Amino acid sequence: MKFVVEAQSAATVAAVRAQLGDPQFSLVAVPDAAPRTKPKALDFALPLCRGQHVVVFDAEDRPEPDQLWKAALRFREEPDIVCLQAPLVIDNGRDTPLAALFAGEYASLFGVFLPALTRWRWPVPLGGTSNHFCIDALRRLGGWDAFNVTEDADLGMRLARRRLRVEMLDAATHEAAPTHFRPWLGQRTRWMKGWMQTFIVHNRDPGRLLAEMGPLRFLAFQVLVLGMILAPVLHCAYAALLVWLWFGGHLGWDGSPLGVYYMALLGLGYGSTLAMTVLGLMRVGRLHLLPSQILLPFYWLLMGLATFRAARELLVAPFYWFKSPHRPVKVAVPPGHSAPAEARR
């Protein structure tokens, strides 16, 4: 196992070195040079990896104990798979309403949406951690884009362009969500900026993208990535329109076709999101977080704010990487499993 740390993070380098008592663990200190991004660090470490497979874990991750074993079995049983994405589960949803909304979002994404994309063989925007790869395929793709601040989404699109198979893994990784607004906003701004980078880069030559992905995947890419960028902005515009109509005394049910259309659009947007969230929370055993999901309209407004900030950052600081603060999480151990030593102490 390799701990990949930026050389400029002297305290982290020292902390890792103090724990390197086992020869199977090693430290890779990444030279301090721009861009100072996670994918640049991963690209630096990739040539040092051996074996047939490689997995990326963030330092704060708590993968279920049998995740590596399940991934190895899956790769052996289905050799055409080149990437397995483990679902990410938020364990601190009770801490604050913001964490509860984040947990619901992750439950929807990793429990419902991404599994559907893999079944349909559509482009899959990978999560930034718990990605298991066939190392030969990863190297043929050129590793990660060092300048993209959501290297996971970009790599998922490049896998789709090569029509390589991505699947979900039946073993979760547990994480903690941001519990306060500033860390959440910084992280979400980076994600939005990275999706913008991904959309722009892959559309530099739309004809080539269409030829490589095929018509259906090409359309799915455009709708999926552009939708992630535009949906929060459109929600803000729609919310502003509703406020204007309300205070202007024009908001009322008159049965007009336009009124029916707006109400149907509102119901479809909130209804589909809530349905996916409920299903996702059921699948990860977090239904106690369901009451907090009533705040989803306000959560989408916050995502709209992050999107506007991301557009600005894309112009003035495209490769700036906001480093999210993290704290250890308690692992929710599924039945039949033993908690890892860290969780028992």
All domains in the chain, ordered by first residue = 50-337 (3.90.550)
Q: Pick the range with the lowest mean pLDDT from 104-113, 166-175, 244-253, 318-327.
A: 244-253
* Tens digit of each residue's pLDDT (9 = 90 or more) over 50-71: 999 999 999 889 999 999 999 9
The answer to whether 315 and 323 have CB atoms below 8 angstroms apart is no
What is the mean predicted confidence (pLDDT) over 285-313? 96
pLDDT at 336: 45
* pLDDT over 50 at 333, yes or no: no
Alpha carbon distance 280, 223 (integer Å): 22
Strands annotated E in 102-245 = 131-134, 165-168, 173-175
Q: Pick the range with the lowest mean pLDDT from 16-25, 137-146, 277-286.
A: 16-25
Side-chain-side CA neighbours of residue 252 (13 Å): 4
Average pLDDT, the chain: 90
pLDDT at 343: 33
pLDDT at 345: 30
The sheet with strand 81-85 has its strands ordered as 53-56, 131-134, 81-85, 165-168
